[in-house]
Structure 1
């Protein structure tokens, strides 16, 4: 069992290394996964020296090199090990948290969703933009998730929500498609209203595009929790 978790973590950290490459090479307005982003050898951002395979081992290389380039000794971004660790943890804890086998369709979709969340967070933090391709990917995964939850019966008056039986107080528990589409429309209306009233000063169109897919993924009334958390996180990020 422990060996399985270690293997999962190592595989997840390797995926995190790929996410680092994508986030650092992405240029706004360009395709997220075009040849310029995913092709080419990795190199030091300071001295431009091409890195060998043993300098690219997730987490371990960063520790051995004491957080610096082996060639020019300049400090590397803490983003590298942080994203690799978070990605590894996603692969371990996502199946556990939803109570589904690792290779089940539900676990795979949730892992992909959280990996996209992580990639969005990195790119948004560095460039203040959320690529449309990631929003579209989340929307598609959300629709797949709705279909899976409907097929396995993971939706009803007292299940299918983080609020558990309290979700019944908010209604719309009869039809999962109506529930999740309502959540998407409500989120987009609310964020759109904020953008309109603040003239885009309080919120950007990237948030508007993101809230729709989040509605597909989390449904009603969970979208209210997502909106509330988004305001808390946003407030923390703008603090001096």
Structure 2
């Protein structure tokens, strides 16, 4: 009976340790209305064709509306276009808490050949998570899965698009505050018109559990285990 009670206490401590990790609150940044003042657009190109890329809030499309609509008009000659949509209404400061991992989610419509990525702007540099091909012209929900700083690479240009995987953002306690957003890449071999809709943008930021709290749980677990011997 005594060992049974001790085993119960071990289980309780393990649950407590797990709860400590959960108690370090996840920070959530989200946007489902896309007011124009909360977003900016910058465009990188590689090629000879003329381009006119714009983005604005629309009340006619979305899941549900409103959403952010990107319109692309491409001239003759061929061009690669990387459109960077930066969220301006919030920043994440690694110096205020121990940043561990992030998860991005969005709804996206547009050409099946579109490649998308989630982005970070820090210290004047643009970093991208691995680019993925949309694969269908239908609206789909995309997620980054759980990603860390090493999953982001510095963007060097639109061609490819070009990235430097050896250059990553700084999420340590000395890292500068950064903003987040979305990258859309398209390769236009000839003149074209393109439309993309972005909706339900969500970023979850998960901090590292406090080491001191984990230590308390670990010491309690060790004490109980000694009593079971």
For the aligned pair, the TM-score class normalised by the smaller chain equals: under 0.3
More helix by share: 1
- Normalising by the residue count of structure 1, what TM-score does the alignment of the two structures yield? 0.25
- Normalising by the residue count of structure 2, what TM-score does the alignment of the two structures yield? 0.25
More strand by share: 2
Larger Rg: 2
